[in-house]
Amino acid sequence: MDPFSEMSTLRQTMDRLFDERPWRVFSAGAADGYFPVDIYETNDDVVVKASLPGVKPEDINLSVTGQLLTLKAETKEEQEGDAKAWYRREHRTGTYLRQMTLPTEVESDKAEAVFEERGAEAHVAQGGGDEAATD
């Protein structure tokens, strides 16, 4: 038995574990721009739902190129007149970005999205197409 082969297998397993961190959104690692996404298929569409609490609809951008869906959102620091002495500040500001390959061929020029205060929902028609962007 080759010990280097076993080390390589262990490393691949550990890499996969840290790439698939379901707890990231609940941990301090949420500051790296991760947000949860659900993807499912209906008879006509691929539907993508993203939870983005605290993000304003005008600060969400969704685009589809081929089978690649890109969802980008931004939160900005609230500007208030009075200076504050913070004891703790956990609300993240900055940019969130997720890119994911959709599970089937889609007509990206027929992408429709609804943006709300708590997130986004996109419907992309199944089939084939080129490129679409929704702001």
Q: Is residue 3 part of a domain?
A: no
Residue pLDDT, tens place only, 72-114: 888 877 766 667 777 887 777 788 888 889 888 888 888 888 8
Q: What is the pTM of this model?
A: 0.62
Query: pLDDT value at position 30?
Result: 42
- How many CB atoms are located within 10 Å of the residue 64 CB? 27
Q: What is the CATH number of the domain that holds 43?
A: 2.60.40.790
Q: Is residue 122 part of a domain?
A: yes
E strands within 28-118? 37-41, 45-51, 60-65, 68-75, 94-101, 106-116
Q: Is residue 117 part of a domain?
A: yes
Boundaries of domain holding 108: 28-77+90-134
Residue pLDDT, tens place only, 18-72: 655 444 444 333 445 578 889 999 998 999 998 887 788 888 888 898 888 888 8
Q: Is residue 101 part of a domain?
A: yes
Number of domains in the chain: 1
Higher-confidence position of 8 and 29: 8
User: Can you read off the two tokens belonging to residue 40?
Assistant: 């499912």
CA separation for the pair 33, 72 (Å, rounded): 10
User: Can you read off the two tokens belonging to residue 45?
Assistant: 């569409």
Asked whether 53 and 114 are in contact (CB, 8 A), the reply is: no
